Structure 1
Amino acid sequence: MNSQELFEKWYSGRRLNMTYSAALEVWNASRAAIEIELPPKRSEANTSGNFTHPSATAYDEAIDNCADVLNDAGITVKGE
């Protein structure tokens, strides 16, 4: 269950004095307030001529994958 589905489950069990759209706006604003800084990529520092060390490439891909997952969850990645 992703975080929005968890929110919807939580919201459905509450009697709040606001509409669903207003509650969702608050939830989205709370997500936007979160900003994560990921570690720097390594491939530029591990390149010699046309060769980049494979572990540096894999590390950079992992950083990109983390950023994608965070963005999908509505979390901002610093520097993007």
Structure 2
Amino acid sequence: MLFFALLFAGLAVFGACVGFGTIGRPMYGQALNSYGWALCINGVALAAYFVFTRVRRSRPARRAARTSALRS
């Protein structure tokens, strides 16, 4: 999961670069800015989803270990 979060974070950075116009040139009179910003937004959303999923999965295990340690 963490790998996919990093992958989509990189995709978001790439999309931001395309959105700012640092990467890519207009093709046939069409600017790539809107495509870059869409890529950035999707990359951020998917990266946040994978990070949230990882955090949510790791919390019950920690909580269960903590409560069992306090009981003994």
Q: TM tier, shorter chain?
A: 0.3 to 0.5
Give the strand-richer structure, 1 or 2: 1
Higher helix content, 1 or 2 = 2
TM-score if structure 1 supplies the norm length?
A: 0.35
TM-score (norm 2): 0.37
